[in-house]
Structure 1
Amino acid sequence: MKTFQVKQKMWSLGGKFTITDELGIPTYLVEGSYFKIPKSFTISDMQGNLVSKIDKQFMTFLPKFDVILADGRSFTIKKEFTFFKPRYTIEGLGIEVQGNIWDMDFVLRKNGQEIARISQEWLRMTSTYNVEVYEDSYAGLVISLVIAIDYVKEQQAASSSASN
C-alpha cells in the first residue's frame, strides 16, 4: 500500500505543484496548462518520466477528461448528472468511482474490490487530499483521477461563487 498527499499551492499559475508520499518526500509533479483552452495537466515522476496526460474535453455539458497513461492505456473520466450524490464514471478501465454526499471522500473499485481510498481534508485554504492506493500498479492512474476530479470541483466552486 502507498499513501500520498495531494496539496495544491495557493497561488500557482496554471496549477503546478508536487504530490508527496507518506514521509513528505516529493513523488509526482503536476503541471496544468496556463491560458490553454481546454485545460490539460501533465503528471510526471520526480525524475521527469511521464506518468499521465489529462485533457479536458471541449464543449461538453458535464466535465469530461481523456487520460493517457505512460504505459499506453487510456480512459475517459466523466461526471454524471445527479441531484444528490456526486458520481463519476470511468470508461475504458472497468473502475467505478463512488463519492459521499458531501463530495469529500471517494472510493475506487475494480470488479467490486476496493483499490484506492481518497479523502479531502476539511478547513484547508487549498485542496488537500489523502490518497491510499492498495496496489502500486494503480498509483499513477489514481493520482490522475484525483487531479481530474479536483479540477471539476474547483470549477464548480468558482461558478457557484460567481453566481452569488
Structure 2
Amino acid sequence: MIKYKVRERVFGIGDDHWIEDEHGHKAFLVDGKVLRIRETFELKDDTGRVVAVIRKKALAVRDAMRVEDAHGGTVATVRRKLFSPIRHSYYAELHGGGELEIHGDLVGKEYTVEADGHKIAEVSRSWFRIRDHYGVRIADGADTPLLLAIAVCVEHLVAEDD
C-alpha cells in the first residue's frame, strides 16, 4: 500500500496544492481552475500531465462530482447515497460498470473505499500530526489517480453537505 498526504479544503478558486507521497515527494498537483462555470480541478502527475479532471456536476438533482480522464471521458461519478443507515455514505459509480462503496466517518476523514467488499483505499486524518491534512492509503495495483480524485470529490461534497 502507498500512502499520500492531502491538504484539506481544496476548494478555493485557483487553489492549487501538491499531494505528497509517504516520503514527502510531490506526487500529484490538484490544480483549481479559475473562470470556469462550475467548480473544476485538474489532477496532474509530477511531470504536469493531466491524469484526471474533477468537475462538479451541473444541474444535478443531488450534488455529484464527475471524475474524467485526460481526454474528457467520464470515469466515475461520486455522490451521496439517498437511503443509507449511515449518515454519510457515498458511492462512486464507475463508467465501465460497477460501484465503489465509500463509508465511515467522512466528516472526520476516517473512511474506506471498497470494491466488491475489498478495501482498496483508506483515508485517515490520524496518520499525520500536521493540521489540515489527511492521508490516503491506496492498495497495490489500484488506480491511484482515480482514488485520489475520489477523495477530493468526497472532501468537497461532504463540506457542502455540512
In 2, Cα distance between the equivalents of 1:19 and 1:104? Answer: 16
- After TM superposition, the structure 1 = structure 2 runs for residues 1-164 of structure 1, keeping only pairs within 5 Å, are 1-8=1-8, 13-70=13-70, 74-81=75-82, 85-92=87-94, 93-100=98-105, 102-121=107-126, 126=132, 128-157=133-162
1:40 and 1:69 map into 2 onto residues whose CA distance is 13
Amino acid at match of 1:28: F
Separation in 2, partners of 1:10, 1:73? 21
- Tell me by how many angstroms 1:33 deviates: 2.1
**TM-score if structure 2 supplies the norm length?**
0.81
Task: Give % identity.
Answer: 21
> Which residues of structure 2 form unaligned runs of 5+?
none
Tell me: CA distance 1:62–1:125, structure 2 relative to 1, closer, same or farther (3 Å). farther
Distance 1:51 1:111, change over 3 A: same
Is 1:8–1:17's contact at 8 Å kept on the other side of the alignment? no
Higher helix share: 1
State the secondary structure of the residue aligned to 2:143: helix
Q: How many residues align?
A: 156
User: Partners in 1 of 2:150 and 2:142 — Cα distance?
Assistant: 14
Q: Which runs of 5+ in 1 are unaligned?
A: 158-164
C-alpha distance in 1 between matches for 2:15 and 2:106: 27
Which of structure 1's runs of 4+ aligned residues deviate more than 6 A?
Answer: none
For the aligned residues, what is the CA RMSD? 2.8
Contact 2:66–2:74, Cα closer than 8 Å, also in 1 = no
